[in-house]
Protein backbone atom coordinates (compact mmCIF):
# COMPACT_ATOMS: atom_id res chain seq x y z
CA UNK A 1 0.00 0.00 0.00
CA UNK A 2 1.53 3.31 -1.11
CA UNK A 3 2.01 5.77 1.75
CA UNK A 4 2.20 9.15 0.02
CA UNK A 5 0.04 11.11 2.47
CA UNK A 6 0.35 9.60 5.94
CA UNK A 7 4.14 10.07 6.57
CA UNK A 8 4.08 13.81 5.73
CA UNK A 9 1.04 14.25 7.98
CA UNK A 10 2.86 12.46 10.81
CA UNK A 11 5.91 14.69 10.28
CA UNK A 12 3.78 17.85 10.30
CA UNK A 13 1.94 16.70 13.43
CA UNK A 14 5.18 15.97 15.30
CA UNK A 15 6.51 19.38 14.26
CA UNK A 16 3.38 21.07 15.62
CA UNK A 17 3.72 19.15 18.89
CA UNK A 18 7.31 20.38 19.23
CA UNK A 19 6.43 23.99 18.39
CA UNK A 20 3.67 23.95 21.01
CA UNK A 21 6.02 22.22 23.45
CA UNK A 22 3.37 19.68 24.36
CA UNK A 23 4.59 17.52 27.23
CA UNK A 24 4.00 14.10 25.68
CA UNK A 25 4.29 11.10 27.97
CA UNK A 26 4.01 7.86 25.97
CA UNK A 27 3.80 4.73 28.09
CA UNK A 28 3.33 1.06 27.23
CA UNK A 29 4.41 1.40 23.60
CA UNK A 30 6.02 -2.03 23.87
CA UNK A 31 2.46 -3.43 23.76
CA UNK A 32 2.05 -2.31 20.14
CA UNK A 33 3.16 -5.15 17.82
CA UNK A 34 5.89 -4.32 15.33
CA UNK A 35 4.12 -6.31 12.61
CA UNK A 36 0.71 -7.82 11.93
CA UNK A 37 -2.84 -6.75 12.48
CA UNK A 38 -4.24 -5.43 15.76
CA UNK A 39 -7.17 -3.41 17.06
CA UNK A 40 -6.48 -0.41 19.30
CA UNK A 41 -9.45 0.52 21.48
CA UNK A 42 -9.03 4.03 22.90
CA UNK A 43 -11.07 6.31 25.14
CA UNK A 44 -12.45 9.52 23.62
CA UNK A 45 -12.22 12.94 25.30
CA UNK A 46 -11.23 15.22 22.42
CA UNK A 47 -11.73 15.89 18.72
CA UNK A 48 -7.95 15.43 18.38
CA UNK A 49 -7.70 11.98 19.94
CA UNK A 50 -6.93 10.21 16.68
CA UNK A 51 -3.70 12.22 16.37
CA UNK A 52 -2.51 11.24 19.81
CA UNK A 53 -3.69 7.65 19.63
CA UNK A 54 -1.72 7.34 16.39
CA UNK A 55 1.27 8.97 18.08
CA UNK A 56 1.15 6.22 20.70
CA UNK A 57 1.95 3.69 17.96
CA UNK A 58 4.87 5.66 16.55
CA UNK A 59 7.56 4.03 18.76
CA UNK A 60 6.60 0.74 17.07
CA UNK A 61 6.79 2.50 13.68
CA UNK A 62 3.16 1.65 12.95
CA UNK A 63 0.53 3.69 11.16
CA UNK A 64 -2.99 3.36 12.57
CA UNK A 65 -6.02 3.21 10.27
CA UNK A 66 -8.86 4.87 12.15
CA UNK A 67 -12.55 4.18 11.78
CA UNK A 68 -14.23 7.58 11.47
CA UNK A 69 -17.70 8.77 10.60
CA UNK A 70 -18.52 9.29 6.93
CA UNK A 71 -19.14 13.03 7.36
CA UNK A 72 -15.39 13.59 7.86
CA UNK A 73 -14.67 11.86 4.57
CA UNK A 74 -17.27 14.08 2.88
CA UNK A 75 -15.42 17.24 3.95
CA UNK A 76 -13.66 18.81 0.97
CA UNK A 77 -10.43 19.35 2.95
CA UNK A 78 -10.36 16.49 5.46
CA UNK A 79 -11.84 13.92 3.07
CA UNK A 80 -8.90 13.61 0.65
CA UNK A 81 -6.48 13.44 3.59
CA UNK A 82 -8.50 10.71 5.31
CA UNK A 83 -8.66 8.67 2.13
CA UNK A 84 -4.97 9.27 1.45
CA UNK A 85 -4.11 7.91 4.90
CA UNK A 86 -6.33 4.87 4.21
CA UNK A 87 -8.60 5.46 7.17
CA UNK A 88 -11.93 3.65 7.19
CA UNK A 89 -15.21 5.45 6.62
CA UNK A 90 -18.07 4.47 8.93
CA UNK A 91 -21.50 4.92 7.41
CA UNK A 92 -24.18 4.04 9.95
CA UNK A 93 -26.54 3.29 7.06
CA UNK A 94 -24.06 0.74 5.71
CA UNK A 95 -22.44 -0.61 8.84
CA UNK A 96 -21.69 -4.06 7.42
CA UNK A 97 -19.60 -2.52 4.65
CA UNK A 98 -17.54 -0.47 7.14
CA UNK A 99 -17.05 -3.50 9.37
CA UNK A 100 -15.86 -5.59 6.43
CA UNK A 101 -13.41 -2.89 5.37
CA UNK A 102 -11.93 -2.94 8.88
CA UNK A 103 -11.66 -6.74 8.81
CA UNK A 104 -9.92 -6.60 5.44
CA UNK A 105 -7.40 -4.10 6.83
CA UNK A 106 -6.74 -6.26 9.90
CA UNK A 107 -6.24 -9.38 7.81
CA UNK A 108 -3.82 -7.44 5.61
CA UNK A 109 -1.69 -6.77 8.71
CA UNK A 110 -2.87 -3.23 9.52
CA UNK A 111 -3.56 -1.72 12.92
CA UNK A 112 -7.13 -0.40 13.12
CA UNK A 113 -7.97 2.30 15.65
CA UNK A 114 -11.42 2.35 17.24
CA UNK A 115 -13.09 4.66 19.76
CA UNK A 116 -15.60 2.19 21.26
CA UNK A 117 -17.52 4.93 23.09
CA UNK A 118 -18.44 6.23 19.59
CA UNK A 119 -18.68 9.85 20.78
CA UNK A 120 -16.66 12.10 23.07
CA UNK A 121 -17.24 11.57 26.78
CA UNK A 122 -18.44 14.83 28.31
CA UNK A 123 -17.74 13.46 31.81
CA UNK A 124 -14.13 12.50 30.95
CA UNK A 125 -14.81 8.99 32.20
CA UNK A 126 -15.25 5.91 29.99
CA UNK A 127 -18.85 5.66 28.82
CA UNK A 128 -20.61 2.45 27.88
CA UNK A 129 -18.79 1.02 24.88
CA UNK A 130 -19.85 -0.81 21.75
CA UNK A 131 -18.76 -4.36 21.01
CA UNK A 132 -17.27 -3.76 17.56
CA UNK A 133 -13.63 -3.68 18.70
CA UNK A 134 -13.94 -7.07 20.40
CA UNK A 135 -15.87 -8.61 17.52
CA UNK A 136 -13.34 -7.41 14.93
CA UNK A 137 -10.34 -8.66 16.89
CA UNK A 138 -11.99 -12.05 17.42
CA UNK A 139 -13.07 -12.48 13.81
CA UNK A 140 -9.74 -11.35 12.34
CA UNK A 141 -7.73 -13.32 14.89
CA UNK A 142 -5.64 -10.34 16.02
CA UNK A 143 -4.72 -8.78 19.39
CA UNK A 144 -7.02 -6.27 21.06
CA UNK A 145 -5.02 -3.43 22.62
CA UNK A 146 -6.56 -1.00 25.15
CA UNK A 147 -5.32 2.59 25.23
CA UNK A 148 -6.11 5.69 27.28
CA UNK A 149 -5.43 9.37 26.58
CA UNK A 150 -5.52 12.32 28.94
CA UNK A 151 -4.83 16.01 28.44
CA UNK A 152 -6.16 16.23 24.89
CA UNK A 153 -9.49 17.57 26.17
CA UNK A 154 -7.74 20.81 27.14
CA UNK A 155 -7.05 21.55 23.46
CA UNK A 156 -10.46 20.84 21.93
CA UNK A 157 -13.44 18.96 23.27
CA UNK A 158 -17.19 18.91 23.02
CA UNK A 159 -18.91 22.06 24.25
CA UNK A 160 -15.70 24.07 24.69
CA UNK A 161 -13.97 26.58 22.45
CA UNK A 162 -10.92 25.02 20.85
CA UNK A 163 -7.50 26.27 21.92
CA UNK A 164 -5.17 24.59 19.45
CA UNK A 165 -2.31 27.03 20.08
CA UNK A 166 -2.18 26.39 23.81
CA UNK A 167 1.42 25.66 24.80
CA UNK A 168 3.10 23.32 27.30
CA UNK A 169 0.02 21.13 27.82
CA UNK A 170 0.87 17.68 29.24
CA UNK A 171 -0.66 14.81 27.25
CA UNK A 172 -0.37 11.23 28.50
CA UNK A 173 -0.81 8.18 26.24
CA UNK A 174 -0.95 4.84 28.04
CA UNK A 175 -1.18 1.54 26.14
CA UNK A 176 -2.26 -1.51 28.07
CA UNK A 177 -1.44 -5.17 27.59
CA UNK A 178 -3.08 -6.86 24.60
CA UNK A 179 -5.59 -9.69 24.79
CA UNK A 180 -6.57 -12.03 21.98
CA UNK A 181 -10.33 -12.67 21.81
CA UNK A 182 -11.36 -15.96 20.27
CA UNK A 183 -14.29 -16.66 17.95
CA UNK A 184 -16.09 -18.67 20.64
CA UNK A 185 -15.62 -16.14 23.45
CA UNK A 186 -18.52 -14.25 25.02
CA UNK A 187 -18.45 -10.88 23.21
CA UNK A 188 -20.56 -9.06 25.81
CA UNK A 189 -18.37 -10.31 28.64
CA UNK A 190 -15.16 -9.30 26.85
CA UNK A 191 -16.63 -5.91 25.99
CA UNK A 192 -17.36 -5.32 29.67
CA UNK A 193 -13.83 -6.37 30.56
CA UNK A 194 -12.41 -4.04 27.89
CA UNK A 195 -14.36 -1.12 29.34
CA UNK A 196 -13.09 -1.92 32.82
CA UNK A 197 -9.51 -2.06 31.54
CA UNK A 198 -9.85 1.21 29.64
CA UNK A 199 -11.36 2.89 32.70
CA UNK A 200 -8.48 1.63 34.85
CA UNK A 201 -5.88 2.95 32.40
CA UNK A 202 -7.64 6.31 32.26
CA UNK A 203 -7.89 6.56 36.03
CA UNK A 204 -4.15 5.84 36.33
CA UNK A 205 -3.11 8.65 34.02
CA UNK A 206 -5.67 11.09 35.41
CA UNK A 207 -4.31 10.60 38.93
CA UNK A 208 -0.68 10.75 37.72
CA UNK A 209 -1.26 13.83 35.56
CA UNK A 210 1.44 16.44 36.29
CA UNK A 211 -0.80 19.51 35.98
CA UNK A 212 -3.75 20.93 37.91
CA UNK A 213 -6.27 23.65 36.97
CA UNK A 214 -4.78 27.09 37.62
CA UNK A 215 -8.14 28.57 38.63
CA UNK A 216 -11.70 27.58 39.50
CA UNK A 217 -12.73 28.42 35.93
CA UNK A 218 -10.29 25.83 34.59
CA UNK A 219 -11.66 22.97 36.66
CA UNK A 220 -13.91 22.11 33.70
CA UNK A 221 -11.25 19.73 32.32
CA UNK A 222 -11.20 17.54 35.45
CA UNK A 223 -13.83 14.81 35.98
CA UNK A 224 -16.25 15.32 38.86
CA UNK A 225 -14.89 12.40 40.89
CA UNK A 226 -11.47 14.09 40.97
CA UNK A 227 -12.89 17.44 42.10
CA UNK A 228 -13.48 18.93 38.67
CA UNK A 229 -16.54 20.65 37.29
CA UNK A 230 -17.07 18.33 34.33
CA UNK A 231 -20.55 16.80 34.34
CA UNK A 232 -21.06 13.54 36.17
CA UNK A 233 -21.51 10.46 33.97
CA UNK A 234 -25.26 10.60 34.63
CA UNK A 235 -25.51 14.29 33.68
CA UNK A 236 -23.33 13.68 30.62
CA UNK A 237 -25.55 10.80 29.49
CA UNK A 238 -28.60 13.05 29.79
CA UNK A 239 -26.84 15.77 27.76
CA UNK A 240 -26.04 13.19 25.07
CA UNK A 241 -29.69 12.16 24.93
CA UNK A 242 -30.76 15.78 24.47
CA UNK A 243 -28.13 16.59 21.87
CA UNK A 244 -26.79 13.41 20.24
CA UNK A 245 -23.74 13.84 18.06
Domain residue ranges of the chain, discontinuous segments joined by +: 18-242
Query: What pLDDT score does 1 carry?
Result: 73
Sequence-distant contacts of 91-98: CB under 8 A, at least 24 apart:
98/67
* Sign of the four-CA dihedral 68, 69, 73, 75: negative
Q: What is the mean pLDDT of each run of 10 residues along the chain (245 residues)?
A: 93 97 98 98 98 98 96 95 97 87 98 97 98 98 99 97 97 98 97 98 98 97 98 97 82
* 30 CB-near residues (< 8 Å, 6+ apart): 59
Query: What pLDDT score does 178 carry?
Result: 98
Query: What pLDDT score does 76 carry?
Result: 95
Q: How many residues in total does the chain contain?
A: 245
- CB 133 within 8 Å of CB 144: yes
- Burial of residue 11 (CB within 10 Å: 0-12, 13-18, 19+) is exposed
Cβ count near 42 (within 10 Å): 29
Q: Which CATH architecture has domain 18-242?
A: 3-Layer(aba) Sandwich (3.40)
Query: What pLDDT score does 245 carry?
Result: 67
In angstroms, the CA 222 to CA 142 distance is: 34
Query: What pLDDT score does 91 carry?
Result: 87
Amino acid sequence: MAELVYPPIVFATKTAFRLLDLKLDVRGAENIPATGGAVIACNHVSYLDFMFCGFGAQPAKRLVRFMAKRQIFDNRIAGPLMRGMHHISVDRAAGAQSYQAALDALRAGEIVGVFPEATISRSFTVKEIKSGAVRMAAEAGVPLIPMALWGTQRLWTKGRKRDLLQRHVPVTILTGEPTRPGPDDDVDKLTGELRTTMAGLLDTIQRDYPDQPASEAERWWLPAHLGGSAPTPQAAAEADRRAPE
